[in-house]
């Protein structure tokens, strides 16, 4: 069964460093998303991406964040200068075509900023 | 704006008993409703959805959920709980209009289900 994959599973970085979180969505899906979950809190929407551009973003997704689909398979989230409060589990999700409603989530990347 | 409330942080049931995990929602327009389950150190797994049609929807692992428009609720149910059902359950909503590539999900705070022998 096709699934969303994410690498790395755990990333530890120093405050101020740049990190790139990688995702491989389900093949032939068209809509891509990043969410995050701070420990003990609910899952929060960050950004959605369709047709090679951002279609919606939350207030959390400020200028320090960017997303890219550099080739036909990867979908990346970059944080330019990490802060302590960026420590969270980051989930990538993808959704099929117009008639598809559910989003399928990857296993997540745990980001720890020291 | 859209929001989801899961009033119970934790639900405890005995194995073999029926379980209910509660969810209420608020959205402008027709709601698309979802339940996801999260096992420790794992991602979110899709369980079931309500889009339109029958108010009772069936999903994976014997779970079902009942959409109640007047009460704006979408409670998750299972007739007979298993110990292996113990996990964190999230209700989510989005507006049921497909506009471009948006359609973000808004999640509740999650309910920890504990099924004991």
Residue A101, pLDDT score: 81
Residue B99, pLDDT score: 53
- H helices of chain A, where? none
Residues of A near B (Cβ–Cβ under 8 Å) read 4, 6, 30-31, 33, 35, 41-45, 48-51, 55-56, 58, 91, 93, 95, 98, 101-108
Q: Reduced to 3 states, what is the DSSP secondary structure of residue B19?
A: strand
Q: How many residues does chain A have?
A: 114
B107 with B41: CB under 8 angstroms?
no
pLDDT-derived band at A32, boundaries 50, 70, 90: very high
Please write the tens of the pLDDT for every residue from A54-108: 999 999 999 999 999 988 789 999 999 999 999 999 999 999 876 778 899 999 9
Predicted confidence pLDDT, tens digits, chain B (117 residues): 789 999 999 999 999 999 999 999 998 888 899 999 999 877 899 999 998 888 999 999 999 999 999 999 999 999 999 999 999 999 999 875 555 546 889 999 999 999 999
Nearest 5°: phi and psi at B62? 85, 5
Residue B101, pLDDT score: 47
- Tell me how many helices (H) and strands (E) chain B has: 0, 12
Residue A40, pLDDT score: 83
A19 with B65: CB under 8 angstroms?
no
A33 with B104: CB under 8 angstroms?
yes
A46 with A29: CB under 8 angstroms?
no
Query: Which of B30, B36, B43, B48 to mutate to probe the A interface, most A CBs <10 Å?
Result: B43
Tokens of B24: 């209420």
Q: Reduced to 3 states, what is the DSSP secondary structure of residue A34?
A: strand
Please write the tens of the pLDDT for every residue from A1-19: 788 999 999 999 999 999 9
Query: Which of A21, A52, A91, A102 to mutate to probe the B interface, most B CBs <10 Å?
Result: A102
Place of tokens 């959390």: A60
Residue A85, pLDDT score: 95
Angstrom distance (rounded) from CA B106 to CA B6: 12
- Using an 8 Å CB-CB cutoff, list chain B residues near A103: 46, 105
CB atoms within 10 A of CB B44: 28
């Amino acid at each position: 069964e096709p699934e969303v994959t994410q690498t790395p599973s755990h990333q530890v970085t120093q405050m101020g460093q740049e990190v790139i979180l990688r995702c491989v969505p389900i093949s032939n899906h068209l809509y891509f998303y990043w969410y995050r979950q701070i420990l003990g809190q609910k899952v929060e929407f960050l950004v959605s991406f369709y047709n090679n551009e951002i279609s919606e973003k939350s207030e959390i997704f400020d200028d320090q964040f960017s997303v890219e689909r550099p080739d036909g398979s990867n979908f990346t989230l970059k944080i330019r200068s990490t802060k302590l409060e960026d420590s969270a589990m980051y989930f990538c999700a993808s959704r099929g075509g117009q008639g598809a409603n559910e989003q399928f989530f990857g296993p997540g990347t745990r980001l720890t900023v020291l | 704006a859209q929001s989801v409330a899961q009033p119970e942080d934790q639900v405890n049931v005995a194995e073999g008993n029926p379980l209910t995990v509660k969810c209420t929602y608020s959205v402008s327009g027709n709601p698309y409703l979802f339940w996801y389950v999260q096992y420790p150190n794992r991602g979110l797994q899709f369980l079931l959805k309500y889009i339109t049609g029958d108010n009772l929807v069936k999903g994976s692992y014997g779970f079902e959920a009942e959409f109640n428009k007047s009460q704006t609720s979408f409670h998750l149910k299972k007739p007979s709980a298993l110990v292996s059902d113990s996990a964190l359950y999230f209700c989510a909503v989005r507006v049921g209009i497909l506009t471009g590539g948006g359609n973000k999900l808004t999640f509740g705070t999650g309910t920890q289900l504990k099924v004991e022998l």
